[in-house]
């Protein structure tokens, strides 16, 4: 009996799926760069720095995760952004409101722990 290991394919699916869905949340935020007024500032660093950090966590990190380049490093800002979203921005909200951020947090944490797998730019270097 031949046993196939689908771990690398599963990691590719995880990276592309969660990275792609995160892009749908992050890309619209780019248009707010011209006027960040009203953007949440959960860390009290200002609306523009909060917006820039969010774009890094949701767009830049997601692109790196999707292509599998510097994946473990990219998963850190992605996970931290979701940590802030779930537990600071939505601190008073019910679990249903926090659910998306928590799911992304779990996925990006798994990606950080496992790495990108062989089907990635990182995997080609090994």
Tell me whether residue 3 is in a domain.
no
Single pTM value for the model: 0.93
Q: How many domains does the chain have?
A: 1
Burial class (CB in 10 A: 0-12, 13-18, 19+), 54: buried
Residue 1: inside a domain: no
> Which residues form the domain of 98?
12-124
Per-residue pLDDT tens digits for 78-126 = 999 999 999 999 999 999 999 999 999 999 999 999 999 999 999 998 6
Note whether 32 and 51 are within 8 A (CB): yes
On whether residue 48 sits in a domain, the answer given is yes
Instruction: Name the phi and psi angles at 37, rounded to 5.
Output: -55, 130
CA pair distance 109, 50, nearest whole angstrom: 21
45's tokens: 């660093």
pLDDT tens figures, 49-75 = 999 999 999 999 999 999 999 999 999
Q: Let me know if residue 39 belongs to a domain.
A: yes
Residue with tokens 């949701």: 58
């Amino acid at each position: 009996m031949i046993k196939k290991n689908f771990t690398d394919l599963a990691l590719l699916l995880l990276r592309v799926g969660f990275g792609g869905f995160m892009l749908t949340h992050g890309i619209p935020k780019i248009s707010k760069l011209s006027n960040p007024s009203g953007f949440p500032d959960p860390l009290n660093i200002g609306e523009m720095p909060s917006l820039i950090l969010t774009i890094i966590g949701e767009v830049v990190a997601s692109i790196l995760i999707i292509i599998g380049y510097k994946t473990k490093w990219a998963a850190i800002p992605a996970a931290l952004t979701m940590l802030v979203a779930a537990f600071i921005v939505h601190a008073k909200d019910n679990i249903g409101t926090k659910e998306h951020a928590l799911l992304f947090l779990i996925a990006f944490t798994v990606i950080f722990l496992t790495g990108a797998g062989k089907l990635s730019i990182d995997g080609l270097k090994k």
